[in-house]
Amino acid sequence: MACACTYKEFREVEWSVPTIASKECAEIVGLALEEIADVRGVKVNVLTKTVTVCFDDARIGLQHLKNAMSNVGFHAVLT
């Protein structure tokens, strides 16, 4: 999924995820977030150790996203 929140009903947030160290880590985090029905886009940057998520914030909250990353072993902090 590409992150492109072009509709005003979607929200885009960036998380710092310091333990992303490889392409494999990025795939794990990305897949965990993409499995959430109301996520519209995910972009994981291994170099900056950030995850950008586009989602329907009327249907899911930030804690849901954070929990999804935590459940696969990655601690995330909003930037």
From the first residue on, what is the mean pLDDT of each consecutive set of 10 residues in the chain (79 residues)? 66 96 97 96 96 94 97 97
Record the tokens describing residue 56, joined without a space: 């329907």
Give the Cα separation of 76 and 79 in Å (integer).
9
Task: Kindly report the CATH number assigned to the domain that includes residue 40.
Answer: 3.30.70.100
Can you give the residue range of the structural domain that contains 27? Answer: 11-78
Q: Is residue 42 part of a domain?
A: yes
Q: Are 51 and 20 in contact (CB under 8 A)?
A: yes
Does 56 fall in a domain? yes
Say if residues 71 and 36 touch (Cβ distance below 8 Å): no
Q: What is the number of domains present in the chain?
A: 1
3 falls within a domain: no
Tell me, what's the pLDDT at 1? 47
Question: Is 5 part of a structural domain of the chain?
Answer: no
Looking at residue 7, its pLDDT comes to: 61
Which of helix, strand or coil describes residue 67?
helix
**pLDDT score at 9:** 80
Q: Are 78 and 13 in contact (CB under 8 A)?
A: yes
46 Cα distance to chain centroid:
13
With respect to residue 28, please indicate whether it lies within any of the assigned structural domains. yes
